[in-house]
Structures are given as C-alpha cells and as structure tokens.
Structure 1
Amino acid sequence: MWARELELNLLSAVRLDRALLPGMVARGTGAVVHVTSIQRRMPLHDSTLAYAAAKAALTAYSKGLANEVAPAGVRVNSVAPGFIRTDGAEGMLTRRMKEGGISREAALDELMRVLGGIPLGQPAEPEEVADVIAFLVSDRAAAVAGAEYTVDGGTVRAV
C-alpha cells in the first residue's frame, strides 16, 4: 500500500517533471502545478495515512523544485484540495459504509466530524479546483512561484 501510494502520488509527478522541465528551462518559461491534498496537514490515520504521507512529500518536493527552477523562468506551485465531490471521494464513503455497516449519510457525518466540518457548508466541485489550476498556469500568475493554494471550503483552520 505504501509503495503504491508513493508511486502514484509522488514518483509519477517526479518522473513527469524530469521529462518536461528540460524543455521549459531551455525556453525560459513554463508552469507546473502539483495537486497535493489537505491530508498532508490532516492525515486520516485510520484509512489514508500512506496517501497523506505521499502528498506531504509531494508538497515538499514541489517547494524545493520551485526554488530550483524559478531562476530559469519556470514556475512551480501546488494546489491542495480538501473534500471535493469526485468519484474518489464517493469511493472513500462507499468503503466506509461497507466497513462500518453504515449509511452514506452516517459515513459522510463521520468524515465531517474527523475533518472538523467544512465551514462553507459543502464540498467543492472539481471545476473549482480546476479554476485555481488554470489561474496558476496562466500569465496572470506570472509572479507566483512556490505557493500552495488550498481549496477546501475552510476545512484547514491553521495558517
């Protein structure tokens, strides 16, 4: 499980970056956005610790890479989604329903308790995360490098 999570959520990004960055550096321009997770700050120890650790590693890698390639004109940033309405989120709820013999509503209530709720009242839509990513790769974000944007409806309360 740990090797799979590291492969999927860290090493795949490293490999892709190593393939694409030389061209960006040669052109003196480019933008990379890594999708991390709020779980790097709030791991759900009972079910997703390996995932959270891989996303924490991706965040550290992203920041280090930003420092490495920014002088060459390449911007690297990350986006940390919270609980987003996706097939993956539904899958997590379904697993919890089966494991606990509980309803979807009970599984969602349990998750919200663990997360401390979503102050805005509902999960974000995938398009909202995509909009932040689109901004980060646009010319409007030309001065943004090494940043992490959190899209979680206020779930992470720490600065």
Structure 2
Amino acid sequence: MRLDLQNKRVLVTAGTKGVGKATVDLFHELGARVLTTARKRPADDSADIFVAADLTTIDGCNAVANAVIANFGSVDIIVHVLGGSTAPGGGFASLGEDEWQRELNLNLLPAVRLDRALLPGMLAQGTGVIIHVTSIQRQLPLPESTTAYAAAKAALSTYSKSLSKEVSPQGVRVVRVAPGWIETEASVALAERLALQAGTDYEGGKQIIMKSLGGIPLGRPSTPVEVANLIAFLASPFAATITGTEYVIDGGTIPTA
C-alpha cells in the first residue's frame, strides 16, 4: 500500500521534535511539500519551509498562516501537533489564572486560529484534510497533574467534532488522533528523572509512568513514528470517507471501548 501524498501542500505545527518531527519527515518522504513551525529551527529540519513563530500568540499564528498563503497559495493538509503542559502538580488548587490560560493558549487556540485563517482556501478548492492531535487525557485525566491540559484537549476534541460537521459537506475532512504515552525526548527525560528518584534504571522509570496511567496492555509506549504513520494514513486518499472521528493510539491504555 503506497500512500499518495505527492505534491500535497502540508502544514505541520510543532514539527521539530517528537510526533511533529516524525510527521514532517514521513510526509516529506511521501512526496509532500511541508511547511512547519516552532519557536526555533533545529539543525536537522527536513521541512521544505520553516517559520519561526510562537503559536501561543495571535501574532505567531498570523505569521504562520501568512507564510502558508505566501508559499502555497492554499493548503491541502493541516496537522495540528502542537500541545503539551507546563502546569505544576498539586491538583486544582495549584492551577491559577495564568496556568489555565497557558494550557488553552498551547493546546486549543492555535488550532482554532490557524483553521480560521486557512479553512477558507480549503473550502474554495473543495478539498482538504485537517487533523487535530488530541490526547487520551481528555478521557483519562490525572487529577494530580493534568487537569488543565486534559480540559484543553477535551475542548480541542469537541471543537474538532463540531468543525467536521460544518465543513465535511463542503469537501474538507476533519479527524482527530488521540495518543496515549509517546516515547518522545521529553518522556524519556521524565522516565530517567523518575528512575533516578526511585533508585532504578530507565526501564523501571517507564514502569512507574505506565503504572500511573493504570497500565499499558501492550507493555510499552507508542513511538513518534507510529503516531505519524496513523496521521499519514488519515491524511491520504485511503481514508477518503473518514471524517469527524477520533482514533486512539495508546497501546490499550484506556480500559473501555
């Protein structure tokens, strides 16, 4: 099975690390023309076009949208990978106004703003795919540390579903990918830190994280490439009638269907 993404015009946010970089690399390999963005450009960037921007700001989103239009005219595929959390542990009481606003600015509003800027071009051409990367945390939040992040991702998922109902009749598919724990650079650092605190090795640190999630039946986290593979399939013509749905890739972490 050969995914056909030749000459597709693609925007991937947060495309310099983890799932974002894996997605940029795979789309580039499959023949797409890729514009990506992050705050700083890395030395090993494989995108055709890179825009340095802070997408947690209105100005940053406008700069990326303008670059897409200037370089591509319109866009065929948007992959919203940007997300994460800097909120402290300690439950609801540790989350002030600033923490809540940061989580929304990182996990919800960039997708809303970029979609608003770029969807008119997709609708005018009568085709396109938007993929929002959500999280299983919207269904499986950890009260100690991910309440604000989980709430922002839940909002992104609801927004995505509503958008799909509006624009799918006009030829633009909107789908969601909900990863569980992914073995990115950041998660490796977390596992190593937990291992050091517990006096164990890296594998022991991974077990600590998996236990906090209630276990991963598959026995390991997903890799960034595995998530990128799912994203590429959903963006391809093989998924031509898939819209409005969310695809979980979590090794079986969520205990219900």
TM over 0.5: yes
What SS is found at the alignment partner of 1:44? coil
Taking structure 1 as reference, are residues 89 and 130 closer, same or farther at Cα in structure 2, changes over 3 Å only? same
- Provide the rounded CA distance (Å) in 1 between the counterparts of 2:185 and 2:107: 17
Deviations 1:20-55 (A, max 9, x none): 110001111000000000111111111121111111
Backbone CA RMSD of aligned residues:
1.7
Aligned 1:39-58 pairs, distance under 5 A: 39-58=137-156
1:27 matched to 2:125: yes
TM-score w.r.t. structure 1 length? 0.91
On the 8 A contact 2:222/2:251 being kept in 1, the answer is: yes
On the 8 A contact 2:194/2:208 being kept in 1, the answer is: no
> Which residue of 194, 198, 203 corresponds with 1:102?
198
Aligned 1:1-159 pairs, distance under 5 A: 1-93=99-191, 101-103=197-199, 107-159=205-257
- Provide the rounded CA distance (Å) in 1 between the counterparts of 2:155 and 2:189: 24
Taking structure 1 as reference, are residues 3 and 93 closer, same or farther at Cα in structure 2, changes over 3 Å only? farther
Q: What is the count of residue pairs matched by the alignment?
A: 157
Structure 1 stretches of 4+ with a deviation exceeding 4 A read: 94-98, 103-107
Taking structure 1 as reference, are residues 46 and 97 closer, same or farther at Cα in structure 2, changes over 3 Å only? farther
What SS is found at the alignment partner of 1:77? strand
Larger radius of gyration: 2
TM-score w.r.t. structure 2 length? 0.57
Structure 2 alignment gaps of length 5 or more: 1-98
What SS is found at the alignment partner of 2:108? helix
Structure 1 alignment gaps of length 5 or more: none
